Amino acid sequence: MANDYNEIKSKLRGSITPVITPFKGDGSIDFEKMSELIEFQLDNGTHGISVTGTSGEPSSMTLEEREQVMLNAQQTINGRVPFVPGTGSTNHDETMRLTKKAEEIGADAAMVIVPYYNKPNQQALYKHFKTVADSVDIPIIVYNIPGRTAQNLHVDTLAQLSRDCPNIIGVKESNKDFEHVNRVLQRCGRDFLLFSGIELLCYPMLAIGGAGSVSATANVLPGKVAEMHDAWFDGDVVRAQKLHYELMELNDVLFKDTNPAPVKAALGMMGKIEPHLRLPMDVPSKELQAEIRETLNKYNITVEYA
């Protein structure tokens, strides 16, 4: 199986967009819009697709809905780019079920978040991830996002997991501690896949040997985010750096409220979706919506709905 892991490791590079989950006015999932959003991504050069991660509001969905979203995405992508659904939960058994479902439908890897809310210690986190990894043959990308989970997965714990579980092949680090992310590659090996989940660190993480990013901003401007990665991998450091700074204002405004509220507002203005979130999440304030609209205009992104 190691050869298979090496093959997918070579493919998992660049901009993996964490596609939002579009809802209709009655709160049901709009699967047709979801397929359209994925096509929009692929038309603009996105290198991979993820769903039901933080941007997909997974904690607002039932397990059955998450499975339906994963299946719909897998069928839409149809092997054109790698597919890495988020399968983690605060509940261990749910994480096991969703990760096995990802394997069953043929996903290329599964992204498993550090359990949120219950704050397990490092030994418990090790047992959780190892049990999940041992239960499947699918490659696992660990997802560390301390700002949403209230617990940081320590580098020592991740390094031990990478040694003990051959199918734990990488990590998405939504971690502002840049020393921490440097230590990940030092301890887990330079071939361990490091993805940035912090927009302003997407370019810097490439510079230290990162594999790419899973950036919510790519929902709105997929072409530019993909182009930044393409420039870096082509050896055009100047262009990659220019795009990094070009994207900064959009990155900033899309995180002035909790993700994915600003992203959904932006996609609504672009005519891509109806900007509905499930409670307890909701759309941004009118003031922030006006700022998002103004920012989209600066990037020459067509605003269809005022």
CA 101 to chain centre: 18
Single-letter amino acid, residue 2: A
Out of 5, 126, 143, 203, the active site residue is: 143
Structure tokens at 200: 């302003």
Out of 101, 172, 264, 272, the active site residue is: 172
Q: Report d(CA 196, CA 141) in Å as an integer.
A: 12
Number of alpha carbons in the 13 Å side-chain half-sphere of residue 95:
26
* 172 a catalytic residue: yes
Nearest by Cα to 157 from 122, 113, 115, 192: 122
* 5 a catalytic residue: no
Nearest by Cα to 170 from 201, 146, 140, 145: 140
Q: How far is CA 250 from CA 130, 172, 216, 220, 254, in A?
A: 37, 21, 11, 9, 6
Q: Report d(CA 10, CA 47) in Å as an integer.
A: 12
Query: What residues act catalytically?
Result: 143, 172
